[in-house]
Structure 1
Amino acid sequence: MDAQRDPDNSPALSVILPASNEAALIGPCLSALLGSVWTHPRPPEVIVIANGCRDDTAARARALIPGFAARGWPLRVIDRAEGGKLAALDAGDAVARGGVRVYLDADVTVDPALLTQLCDALAGPAPRYASGRLHITAKGAVSRAYARLWRRVPFMAKGVPGCGVFAVSAAGRARWGGFPDIISDDTFVRLCFAPQERVAVAAPYDWPIAEGFGALVRVRRRQDAGVAEIARRFPDLLRNEDKLPLSRRGLLGLALRDPAGFAIYAGVALMVRLRPPAQDWSRSR
């Protein structure tokens, strides 16, 4: 049950959810948000930006408005003919009323405790970045093995990568204006904060990865292209990077612990090296 409302009618936080052709995923994503255990006096608001959709993503999101209204939570659906995730994020930011901003991908399923913990972590005046405990999910054997190994890489295991969901305080959101037209919005925002300004909350969330070896290679190329683009366009942000390369000893330990996972993970990395990402990489999801 929600706590008694504060007289201030502004939301405690705004969830900004861009979605392009996500009819199969938007319902479970929003339902997980609606199932949140919320303990703050003021409710959150959720803003879905359906961008460039050729399916009924927007209609499926609107179908859940009554359920949100029953909890006193505003759910707004913006239907944009134009595609592009970065423009969708800007459109959501333009109408968001909460100081704390949570940026959520439509394929993510949040734990019931995540929204409240993010709100708690970012409620103060300091610029802060936060995310939950990442749980990488996969269906096929190849992707499950890749995920097993990837989640043991130090940056993924001990850092705050923010894959699929990241949040910033009001002062943190002031670190940048509109989202730049780049491949990797999550990397850009993470690097706007020093490592000591990043907070990992305990609540988990499910984030699926691509299925199959070929798809993993394509996504890894996209990830590498995104990092290279930020290094080229925003070199000053690299001072906040805390992702260290794996040592030989670390690699050996991973290989001994999970030979099958290591073989697939290394195979994907090798394929990316043999065919680097193109400079004009598509920004579509």
Structure 2
Amino acid sequence: MKQPDPEPAAPALSVIIAARNEAAYIDRCLQALAAQEDVAGGVQVVVAANACTDATVALARAHAPAFAARGWTLAVLDLPQGGKLGALAAGEVAATGRALAYLDADVICDPPLLGQLARALDTPAPRYATGTLAVTRARSAITRAYARIWTRLPFVQGGAVGAGLFAMNRAGRARWGDWPAIISDDTFARLHFTPAERIEVPARYHWPMVEGMANLIRVRRRQDAGVHQIARLYPDLPRNESKAPLTRAHLLRLALTDPLGLATYLTVHVAVRLRPASADWTRGR
């Protein structure tokens, strides 16, 4: 009697992209993934398109041959219901990888990144990993000035920020059940790991900031609201933060070396404090 064919081995990494009306970005994102250096064990990409009214789904599906040519797979889910957390959950159901990466559709990964993430997460111990964050050069002078200071903050320079890209192995993902209804999924995930369990690999990923003062204030309000929400709902998680403080000495160095950048950053900071965020969801870009 002929033996049944063995089940295919699980890929080393599943990359989940929650995408809503990302037609302007999804091509470059998927092109960068298809151009990754070899990953031992292979890669699966799952685009969880949620309530899209543009060409995101069609554009994403057009990349399937490029992934198939490498022996990798691309699955595109056309979900009728909007919402990032629901899209992440649907993407996880479809994901078969031994580790999971969560990628924003407007992020561009350098060629070595997926392989480095897969190797970092290839352990039975719970682990979280991300790449080295590089802020994409903005079009507006205001955003460029803000980004110059943001990238020099102790929190960012401490590594493993995970904005726009974070990953974990299955043992790490088992630390919580369903995604809760929260604002900041990246912060929620990162804080389930101690600093010793978080890894920043050398390869870079390119993450864009929003353009202009009004958008910076809007997104910063949302980010702060997300942090406060986690502290309120999950009071044990912030102890994993271990942020280095922004000291007066550090502020003085920033003021002396980039006064315009610091003034821009502080303007956003003060504007957010004067009028906190509402409970309404706000798009990150």
TM-score, length-normalised on structure 2?
0.95
| 1:212-265, Cα deviation, whole Å (9 max, x unpaired) | 000000000000000011011111111111123311111111111111110100
Q: CA deviation at 1:8?
A: 4.8
> 2:145 maps to what in 1?
145
CA distance in structure 2 between the partners assigned to 1:193 and 1:257 by the alignment: 34
Local SS of the residue matching 2:124? coil
The corresponding residue for 1:11 is 11
How far did residue 283 of structure 1 move?
5.0
Q: Give the conservation status (yes or no) of the 8 Å contact 1:183–1:226.
A: yes
Q: Does 1:196 align with 2:196?
A: yes
Give 2:33's aligned residue: 33
Equivalence for 1:258: 258
CA distance in 1, matches of 2:201, 2:55: 34
The whole-number CA distance in structure 1 between the counterparts of 2:48 and 2:266 is 37
TM-score by length of 1: 0.95
Structure 2: distance between partners of 1:69 and 1:268: 45
**Alignment match, 1:4:** none
Q: 1:186-234 deviations in whole A, cap 9, x for unaligned? A: 0000000011110010000100000000000000000000001101111
Question: Shift of the alpha carbon at 1:136?
Answer: 0.8
Distance 2:154 2:176 in 1: 28
The amino acid of 2:20's aligned partner reads S
Partner residue in 2 for 1:77: 76
Q: Which runs of 5+ in 2 are unaligned?
A: 1-6
Gaps of 5+ in 1: 1-6
Greater than 6 Å deviation, 4+ residue runs = none
User: Is 1:119 matched with 2:121?
Assistant: no
Paired positions, count: 278
CA contact (8 A) 1:133 1:200 kept: yes
- 1:55-104 per-position Cα deviation (integer Å, ceiling 9, x unaligned): 01011000111111111110000001110000000000011111200000
State how far apart, in whole Å, the 1-side matches of 2:72 and 2:8 are: 14
Q: In the alignment, which residue of structure 1 is the partner of 2:88?
A: 89
Contact 1:182–1:283 (8 Å) recurs in 2? no
1:179 — aligned with what? 179
SS of equivalent residue, structure 1 residue 246: coil
Q: State the alpha-carbon separation in 1 of the partners of residues 73 and 159 from structure 2.
A: 32
Partner Cα distance (1:164, 1:211) in 2: 16
